[in-house]
């Protein structure tokens, strides 16, 4: 390896701040401390040493993948295969590529993490790598107790949401020039370095998740990873016991489609489990509360919802803007954004005789992409062939569906909507009274003079 390897490592050292470089050096010293050689230029570490250092913070399969990615780094361009151990130069270059590199550099290491063999890899190998990566994110956040109030769905075997998010990431890969092939044929496709590079560029979650795995799995460069923009802090009023329909992976997925300033904090505004099956309660709790995410689980177990980019208001006109979107969580994850065809983004109405009463997003009257009827517990998702506003398919299992669980979460900083607790009125105590006042057409004269209580 000699001097050319050292020069290569030095080139990538310059990407790290001095304090970051010191951390990386300390980690390598710890990993290589049991190596038999005392010569600094030939120090290295084994897979056993890496597994021993990481412990249970990461699944063993992901530790092995990271090790294979490191030892597959070719500093000279002449290697005929992966080395027997990881040298300091290989460690430095792989960390630089994965944490600081561009899509091309990241793909060089990822390709070695997918398969130790030279040349293209099969799509099914990429699929398995993606599932391991997503599962490792949940594992390490749970192990480090950094779920920020969210949970992971329990059950036997790999969590369903891991497979759903992994499938969404894998779907971003352009196979065979974009041609859609049947499942088995698709998984037999070969993916070369250019394909992997384009995938890493197109699906930024791949690089983000690798960063989380390295930062939190190795406890490396903790200060440079802002988990708050990945996993929002969960707030439920009065810290009441409440199990959300969302788990940490589905929250990460939806949260990534919000503006950066909206990603740090989610506050529960309404839950049918906590606040009852009442459309008036729903209206009273979500109006004038700023941007929010609403979601439902229908009687068939499918989970879906929408993002409202501005405060809901009870009125007979459509509202919102083109940053609203619909989404699906289960049985698959997907986000559906504005087509520009019309401006039917959000609709909330009550007490009218000639137009629909309920909450809707996308489509048109009586044919919404997502509709919650005023007769709470019923709704529809009509999209034949697609919703005109969001280009979304039918989100529910049945076009006309029933549901028991509905949640609405305010997103972002609530500082502009908070109120001193001593200033509550009867309308704050009873959202249903507030909604009925609004529905009757009478104005709330104190609205705008008071802020909304934080726990509302």
Q: Tell me the pLDDT tens digit for each residue of 321-370.
A: 999 999 999 999 999 999 999 999 999 998 877 889 999 999 999 999 99
Q: Please give the pLDDT value at position 413.
A: 78
Instruction: Give the tens place of pLDDT for each residue, 222-258.
Output: 777 888 889 999 999 876 778 899 999 999 999 999 9
Q: How many CA atoms lie within 13 A of 312 on its CB side?
A: 28
Token duo for residue 157: 């075997």
Q: How many whole angstroms from its chain centre is CA 114?
A: 22
Q: Determine contact, residues 141/147, Cβ cutoff 8 Å.
A: yes
Radius of gyration, alpha carbons of the chain: 25
Task: Please state, as a whole number, how many other Cβ atoms lie within 10 Å of the Cβ of residue 226.
Answer: 10
pLDDT over threshold 50, residue 455: no
10, exposed or middle or buried, with CB in 10 Å at 0-12, 13-18, 19+?
A: exposed
pLDDT over threshold 60, residue 453: no
178-182, 185-189, 372-376: which has the highest mean pLDDT?
A: 372-376
Closest CA to 162 of 17, 330, 13, 366: 330
Phi, psi of 77 (to 5 degrees): 80, 10
- As a whole number, mean pLDDT of residues 280-298 equals 96
- As a whole number, mean pLDDT of residues 416-435 equals 44
Instruction: Pick the more confident residue, 152 or 17.
Output: 17
Q: Please give the pLDDT value at position 140.
A: 96
Token duo for residue 292: 């929010």
- Going through 6-131 in order, the beta strands assigned E by DSSP cover 44-45, 86-87, 121-122
pLDDT over threshold 50, residue 448: no
What distance in Å separates the CA atoms of residue 351 and residue 436, rounded to the nearest whole number? 9
pLDDT over threshold 80, residue 377: yes
285, exposed or middle or buried, with CB in 10 Å at 0-12, 13-18, 19+?
A: buried
Q: Determine contact, residues 431/281, Cβ cutoff 8 Å.
A: yes
Q: How many whole angstroms from its chain centre is CA 437?
A: 38
Closest CA to 139 of 55, 28, 39, 198: 55
- Going through 62-151 in order, the beta strands assigned E by DSSP cover 86-87, 121-122
What distance in Å separates the CA atoms of residue 452 and residue 439, rounded to the nearest whole number? 19
Exposure b/e, 396-433, CB count within 10 A at least 16 = b: beeeebebebbbbbbbbebeebebeeeeeeebbeebbe
pLDDT over threshold 60, residue 157: no
Q: Could you name the CATH architecture of 2-224? A: Orthogonal Bundle (1.10)
Q: Please give the pLDDT value at position 418.
A: 44
What distance in Å separates the CA atoms of residue 417 and residue 432, rounded to the nearest whole number? 19
Token duo for residue 239: 């810290």
Q: Please give the pLDDT value at position 13.
A: 53
Token duo for residue 87: 């040298």
Q: Determine contact, residues 293/408, Cβ cutoff 8 Å.
A: yes
Q: 126 Cβ partners below 8 Å, 6+ apart?
A: 114, 170, 173, 191, 196, 199
Q: Where are the domains of the chain?
A: 2-224, 241-453
Q: Which residues pair with 202 in a beta bridge?
A: none
Q: 63 Cβ partners below 8 Å, 6+ apart?
A: 47, 50, 51, 54, 217
Exposure b/e, 152-179, CB count within 10 A at least 16 = b: bbeeeeebebbbbbbbbbbebbebeeee
Q: Return the DSSP state at 24.
A: H
Q: How many whole angstroms from its chain centre is CA 280?
A: 31
């Amino acid at each position: 390896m000699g001097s050319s390897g050292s020069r290569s490592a030095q080139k990538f050292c310059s990407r790290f701040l001095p304090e970051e470089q010191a951390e990386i050096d300390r980690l390598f010293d710890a990993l290589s401390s049991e190596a038999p050689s005392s010569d600094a230029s030939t120090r290295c570490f084994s897979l056993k040493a890496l597994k021993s250092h990481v412990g249970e913070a990461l699944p063993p399969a992901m530790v092995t993948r990271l090790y294979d990615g490191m030892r597959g780094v070719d500093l000279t361009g002449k290697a005929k295969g992966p080395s027997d151990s990881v040298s300091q130069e290989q460690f430095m270059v792989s960390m630089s590529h994965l944490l600081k590199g561009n899509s091309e550099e990241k793909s060089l290491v990822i390709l070695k993490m997918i398969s130790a063999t030279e040349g293209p890899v099969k799509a099914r190998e990429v699929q398995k790598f993606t599932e391991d990566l997503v599962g490792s994110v949940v594992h390490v956040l749970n192990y480090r107790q950094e779920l920020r109030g969210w949970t992971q769905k329990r059950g036997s075997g790999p969590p369903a949401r891991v497979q759903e998010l992994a499938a969404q990431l894998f779907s971003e890969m352009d196979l065979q020039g974009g041609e859609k092939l049947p499942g088995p044929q698709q998984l037999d496709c070969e993916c070369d370095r250019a394909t992997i590079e384009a995938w890493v560029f197109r699906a930024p979650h791949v690089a983000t998740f690798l960063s989380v795995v390295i930062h939190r799995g190795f406890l490396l460069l903790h200060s440079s990873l802002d988990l708050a923009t990945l996993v929002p802090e969960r707030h439920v009023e009065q810290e009441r016991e409440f199990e959300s329909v969302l788990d940490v992976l589905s929250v990460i997925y939806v949260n990534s489609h919000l503006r950066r300033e909206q990603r740090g904090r989610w506050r529960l505004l309404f839950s049918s489990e906590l606040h009852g099956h009442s459309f008036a309660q729903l209206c009273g709790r979500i109006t004038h509360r700023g941007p929010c995410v609403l979601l439902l689980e229908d009687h068939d177990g499918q989970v879906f919802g929408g993002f409202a980019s501005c405060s809901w208001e009870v009125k007979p006109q459509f509202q919102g803007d083109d940053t609203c979107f619909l989404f699906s969580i289960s049985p698959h994850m997907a986000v559906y954004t504005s087509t520009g065809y019309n401006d039917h983004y959000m609709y909330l109405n009550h007490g009218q005789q000639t137009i629909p009463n309920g909450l809707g997003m996308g489509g048109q009257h009586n044919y919404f992409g997502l509709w919650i009827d005023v007769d709470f517990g019923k709704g529809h998702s009509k999209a034949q062939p697609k919703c005109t506003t969001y280009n979304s398919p039918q989100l529910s299992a049945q076009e006309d569906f029933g549901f028991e669980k509905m949640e609405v979460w305010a997103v972002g900083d609530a500082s502009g909507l908070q109120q001193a607790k001593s200033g509550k009125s009867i309308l704050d105590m009873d959202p249903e009274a507030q909604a009925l006042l609004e529905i009757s057409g009478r104005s709330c004269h104190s609205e705008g003079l008071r802020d909304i209580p934080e726990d509302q």
